[in-house]
């Protein structure tokens, strides 16, 4: 929509209506010395000068495709995004659309969300999906809200794996302030433990168990026994999943998970310097009324034509008010559309090829890196496309050496786990060629 400013005559009419003569009169309630502060701004630039200045500033940004070889993951991954995804997102009817407050009029938006929900339930093996959340961290925190609402505050214990993304765990703690919850399992020093240790912490006071699949260190566990143990104690289980890995691995739904959440950034969303991203949230049908956000459903209109409706919208502004499960009242509609386009364009076979390339290339990298004196895999468990590399020097020093040679190394785990100074979390995707992997190996040999 083109912005059309008001005319001087319209401005004067508006001022007269509110009972003042000038714009300055509107600020009389503000002390004079506070009204119009002097801004220390540089001299004005022409459009050409401003464009050149901004381009110069932008040139300082590194690009993982053009400038750097990247092996950095830890929750955000460098995957190829087909051009059709960006093309669709830039169409005006999608790009400018706002939250459907009168939803049935927005049939195109509702259908896009419905398709996204259908794809996510197929991917995770769950029964229902909401229209998305802001990112994987908030989706995980909303799982805590669901469990709290399910037990009506009678259970207040969370068993959380230390190998859940540290940022997600931090967001959970922020969300749960004031709820009187007890969190156990992710205390310092427990990160090398597998799911068996968590099983001993589950009791009749536990409302939710939170694990990651594959976990933050890339390890793959079958959580079936853990989930069965939690259910025997009456607790729910939330699995934080990497969507790309779910293409090859057993789904959390097959293991019996109650809630499956995660970050859908790998599906058609670029790295974008950290966001915005897309959180997915799926669960069993029996918990749908405790699920945060909105849910689009399919029906028929009075003429018998297929149509889409906002079936559930458990938001605080509507009928639930103070009984609302969450204050989440919107979704990442545009990015959910991008995710749907990505999955649709690649199809089942294309997604399997991407996942297989990630798996094969990561295992080639791990095998070659393990041959270097002083380096080796830190964990014996199976992994998908991310693994922890033990290094002879602190990971920060290794990363700096790689960066000096045009390679963005892995994630320095000591950032979140102080006792893991010599541990580097390396991610490999379909974007990493064999030559790039060989370059990483050669550089670390030289080091």
Pair (75, 128) in one structural domain: no
Please give the radius of gyration of the chain, using alpha carbons only, rounded to the nearest integer: 25
Report d(CA 377, CA 31) in Å as an integer.
65
Query: 62, 68 in Cβ contact below 8 A?
Result: yes
Report d(CA 135, CA 331) in Å as an integer.
10
Looking at residue 1, what is its pLDDT?
A: 46
SS (H, E, C) 73-128: CCCCCCCCCCHHHHHHHCCHHHHCCCCCCCHHHCHHHHHHHHHHHHHHHHHHCCCE
CATH number of the CATH domain containing 381: 3.90.1150.10
Question: Is residue 426 a part of any domain in this protein?
Answer: yes
Residues contacting residue 324 through CB under 8 Å, at least 6 positions apart: 314, 315, 316, 318
Pair (325, 429) in one structural domain: no
Pair (396, 286) in one structural domain: no
Paired tokens of 97? 């659309």
Looking at residue 188, what is its pLDDT?
A: 64
Distance from the first to the final alpha carbon of the chain = 56
Question: Is residue 252 a part of any domain in this protein?
Answer: yes
Helix (H) or strand (E) holding 426: strand 423-427
Question: Is residue 400 a part of any domain in this protein?
Answer: yes
Query: 243, 266 in Cβ contact below 8 A?
Result: yes
Please state the φ and ψ torsions of residue 389, each to the nearest 5 degrees.
Answer: -105, 120
Which residue range is the domain that position 351 belongs to? 69-82+347-446
Paired tokens of 218? 């890339």
How many domains does the chain contain in total?
2
Question: Is residue 4 a part of any domain in this protein?
Answer: no
Pair (335, 377) in one structural domain: no
Query: 390, 376 in Cβ contact below 8 A?
Result: yes
Question: Is residue 25 a part of any domain in this protein?
Answer: no
Residues composing the chain: 447
Pair (322, 407) in one structural domain: no
Closest CA to 409 of 357, 353, 354, 369: 369
Q: From residue 66, how far is each of 70, 326, 407 by CA, in Å?
A: 10, 42, 11
Pair (180, 233) in one structural domain: yes
Pair (206, 267) in one structural domain: yes
Pair (108, 198) in one structural domain: yes
Question: Is residue 365 a part of any domain in this protein?
Answer: yes
Domain boundary among 342, 370, 395: 342
* Cα 275 to chain centroid, rounded: 9
Question: Is residue 157 a part of any domain in this protein?
Answer: yes
Pair (292, 405) in one structural domain: no
Looking at residue 315, what is its pLDDT?
A: 53
Looking at residue 325, what is its pLDDT?
A: 73
Q: Return the exposure string of 69-85: e unless at least 16 CB atoms fall within 10 Å of the residue's CB, then b.
A: bbbbbbbbbbbebeeeb
Closest CA to 306 of 131, 113, 111: 111
Q: From residue 95, how far is each of 116, 333, 368 by CA, in Å?
A: 17, 10, 45
Report d(CA 416, CA 188) in Å as an integer.
10
Domain boundary among 342, 369, 390: 342
Q: Tell me what percent of the chain is helix, strand and coil, each rounded to the nearest 5.
A: 40, 15, 45
Query: 241, 263 in Cβ contact below 8 A?
Result: no
Question: Is residue 62 a part of any domain in this protein?
Answer: no
3-state secondary structure of 435: helix
Pair (313, 266) in one structural domain: yes
CATH number of the CATH domain containing 131: 3.40.640.10
Q: What is the dihedral of CA 220, 225, 229, 231, to 10 degrees?
A: 80
Report d(CA 136, CA 128) in Å as an integer.
17
Looking at residue 319, what is its pLDDT?
A: 56
Q: What is the reported pTM?
A: 0.87
SS (H, E, C) 281-312: EEECHHHHHHCCCEEEEEEECCCCCEEEEEEE
Domain boundary among 276, 311, 342: 342
- pLDDT digit of tens for each residue in the chain (447 aa)? 466 788 999 999 999 999 999 988 999 889 988 887 778 888 999 999 999 999 999 888 877 767 789 999 999 999 999 999 999 999 888 877 666 667 778 888 899 999 999 999 999 999 999 999 999 999 999 999 999 999 988 999 999 999 999 999 999 999 999 899 999 998 866 777 789 999 999 999 999 999 999 999 999 999 999 999 999 999 999 999 999 999 999 999 999 999 999 999 999 999 988 889 999 999 999 999 899 888 999 999 999 999 999 888 755 455 566 667 777 777 899 999 999 999 999 999 999 999 999 999 999 999 999 999 999 999 999 999 999 999 999 999 999 999 999 999 999 999 999 999 999 999 999 999 999 999 999 999 998
Q: Is 83 left (phi over 0), alpha (psi -120 to 50) or beta?
A: alpha
Query: 129, 278 in Cβ contact below 8 A?
Result: no
Pair (180, 202) in one structural domain: yes
Report d(CA 163, CA 141) in Å as an integer.
16
Pair (302, 431) in one structural domain: no
Q: Which long-range contacts (CB under 8 A, 24 or more apart) does 171-180 make?
A: 171/137, 171/138, 171/140, 171/141, 172/140, 172/141, 172/144, 172/210, 174/141, 175/141, 175/142, 175/144, 175/145, 176/141, 176/144, 179/148, 179/153, 180/153, 180/156
């Amino acid at each position: 929509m083109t912005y059309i400013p008001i005319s001087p005559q319209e401005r004067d009419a508006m001022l007269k209506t509110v009972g003042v003569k000038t714009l300055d009169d509107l600020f009389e309630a503000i002390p004079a010395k506070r009204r119009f502060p002097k801004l220390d701004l540089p001299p004005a630039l022409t459009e050409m000068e401003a464009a050149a200045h901004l381009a110069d500033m932008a040139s300082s940004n590194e690009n993982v495709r053009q400038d750097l070889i990247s092996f950095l993951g830890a929750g955000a991954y460098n995957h190829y995004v087909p051009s059709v995804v960006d093309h669709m997102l830039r169409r005006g009817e999608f790009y400018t659309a706002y939250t459907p407050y009168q939803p049935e009029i927005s049939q195109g938006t509702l259908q896009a969300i419905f398709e996204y929900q259908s794809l996510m339930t197929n991917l995770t093996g769950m029964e229902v999906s909401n229209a998305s959340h802001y990112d994987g961290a908030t989706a995980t925190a909303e799982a805590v809200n669901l469990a709290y609402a399910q037990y009506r505050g009678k259970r207040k214990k969370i068993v959380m794996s230390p190998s859940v993304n540290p940022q997600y765990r931090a967001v959970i703690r922020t969300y749960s302030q004031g709820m009187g919850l007890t969190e156990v399992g992710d205390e310092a020093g427990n990160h090398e433990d597998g799911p068996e240790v968590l099983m001993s912490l589950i009791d009749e006071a536990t409302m939710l168990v939170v694990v990651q699949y594959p976990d933050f260190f890339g390890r793959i566990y079958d959580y079936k026994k853990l989930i069965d143990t939690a259910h025997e104690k009456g607790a729910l289980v939330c699995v934080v999943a990497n969507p790309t890995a779910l293409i090859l691995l057993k789904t959390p739904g097959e293991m019996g998970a109650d809630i499956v959440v995660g970050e859908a950034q790998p599906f058609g969303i670029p790295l974008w310097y950290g966001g915005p991203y897309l959180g997915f949230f799926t669960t069993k049908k029996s918990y749908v009324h405790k699920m945060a956000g909105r849910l689009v459903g399919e029906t028929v209109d009075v003429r018998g034509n297929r149509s889409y409706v906002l079936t559930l919208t458990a938001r605080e502004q509507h009928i639930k008010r103070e009984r609302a499960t969450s204050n989440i009242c919107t979704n990442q509609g545009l990015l959910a559309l991008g995710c749907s386009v990505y999955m649709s364009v690649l199809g089942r076979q294309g997604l399997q090829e991407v996942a297989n390339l990630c798996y094969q290339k990561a295992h080639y990298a791990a095998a070659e890196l393990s041959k270097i004196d002083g380096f080796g895999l830190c964990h014996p468990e199976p992994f998908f496309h991310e693994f922890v590399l033990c290094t002879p020097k602190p990971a920060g020093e290794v990363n700096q050496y790689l960066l000096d040679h045009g390679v963005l190394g892995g994630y320095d785990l000591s950032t979140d786990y102080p006792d893991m100074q010599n541990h580097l979390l390396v991610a490999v995707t379909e974007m990493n060629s064999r030559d790039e992997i060989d370059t990483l190996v050669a550089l670390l040999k030289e080091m």
